[in-house]
Structure 1
């Protein structure tokens, strides 16, 4: 999240506070554990007030998964800007790749730290799944509006699940490898996972 000089000063300050709190959460959760870290300690570490924390994040968990949330917010914004013509899954792949490519240079390390922390902290892992479920619903609703389909059309929900599951598979492999190859490697893994979707449908047991 770069300090975008095109934004008003008030908005830049809010973004700086958000990043400071998220960074503090990653540090303190790793050092002390999620349950042992208080909101007051997070605010003090980030040099902001507790009220600033509660205005910025809905919960301690939200601060801990900010890198994850940044990706999905960028993805939804890219999809809202327009899905390219052609197969929708391909369009979602391009939107997710574009969203990922547009994240700032610190995102890779922050995402790695977030995922490693979530594995060790069940509360954070549950919150990640909760957050992704909301994103899938928003994605399906956005696609329904774009494609003029009923919001309950099962195809939309399947597509949302497929796109996000493809990222999950690629992301797990990337994190296990310590982020080797940087973001380019993660993008390549995502492309492989997307290509595996139609290929997997052709598998048949004899």
Structure 2
């Protein structure tokens, strides 16, 4: 299952309009934040440029930080959709990898540019980095809940917490490298880098040092 988009004709017209408004706010916000800086751009600047009311903005986003990281939200929303729908079979870390890789692959073509702009913006605004960290913690909590239900184990089981954190860590490592290369190689390069990060997990655990 994929996250709904404004182009999905199976959605009611009202929902498609809401998604289009959300996308317009996101694109306007990224442009203004990039041009003027995140801190220097007020919420009034944003809604005036997007030609919407403050109430419309807050119906779509809880805060200015949220609209700035919408590309992150798109990714992890798609990931959680897949995790909730998937019938897990085999090693759980591999299943989490498949969910995340499938989510990345299915994102709309414009996502690459939005994500690159978002990550560059985060480097200039410490408040956004903190917001992303907080958001990803919520994603990990959701993943833990899904795994606990699917595997019929206690949500406090430490293994679930480690697996959830490994997934966001593998993304952080591979995504950071992709952004550093300005997205060279496109979506396929990102997916390949993600696979390499997951493969490194057991290899890293097997790494040992020889006393000198």
The interval holding the TM-score normalised by the smaller chain is over 0.9
Gaps of 5+ in 2: none
Runs (4 or more) in structure 1 with deviation over 3 Å come to none
Task: Give the 5 Å matches for 1:48-59.
Answer: 48-59=52-63
Q: Secondary structure at the match of 1:26?
A: helix
Shift of 1:129: 0.6
How many angstroms apart in 1 are the aligned matches of 2:74 and 2:184? 21
Q: 1:166 aligns with which of 162, 166, 170?
A: 170
**Deviations along 1:41-60, whole A, 9 cap, x unmatched?**
21122221111001110000
**Deviations along 1:156-206, whole A, 9 cap, x unmatched?**
000001111001100000000000000100000000000000011111111
Shift of 1:24: 1.1
How many angstroms apart in 2 are the aligned matches of 1:46 and 1:4? 23
Task: Give the 5 Å matches for 1:173-184.
Answer: 173-184=177-188
Shift of 1:40: 1.7
How much is the aligned-residue C-alpha RMSD, in angstroms? 0.9
How many angstroms apart in 2 are the aligned matches of 1:153 and 1:45? 48
Q: Is the 8 A contact 1:108 1:183 kept in 2?
A: yes
Q: 1:32 aligns with which of 28, 36, 43?
A: 36
Partner of 2:71: 67
Q: 1:19 aligns with which of 6, 20, 23?
A: 23
Partner of 1:5: 9
Gaps of 5+ in 1: none
Q: Is the 8 A contact 2:88 2:150 kept in 1?
A: no
- Normalising by the residue count of structure 1, what TM-score does the alignment of the two structures yield? 0.98
Kindly tell me: are residues 135 and 163 of structure 1, through their superposed partners in 2, closer, same or farther at Cα, counting changes over 3 Å?
Answer: same
Q: Secondary structure at the match of 1:120?
A: coil
Q: 1:156 aligns with which of 153, 160, 180?
A: 160
Partner of 1:136: 140
- Normalising by the residue count of structure 2, what TM-score does the alignment of the two structures yield? 0.95
Tell me whether 1:92 sits opposite 2:83 in the alignment. no
Shift of 1:32: 1.3
**Deviations along 1:107-129, whole A, 9 cap, x unmatched?**
00100000000011111111111
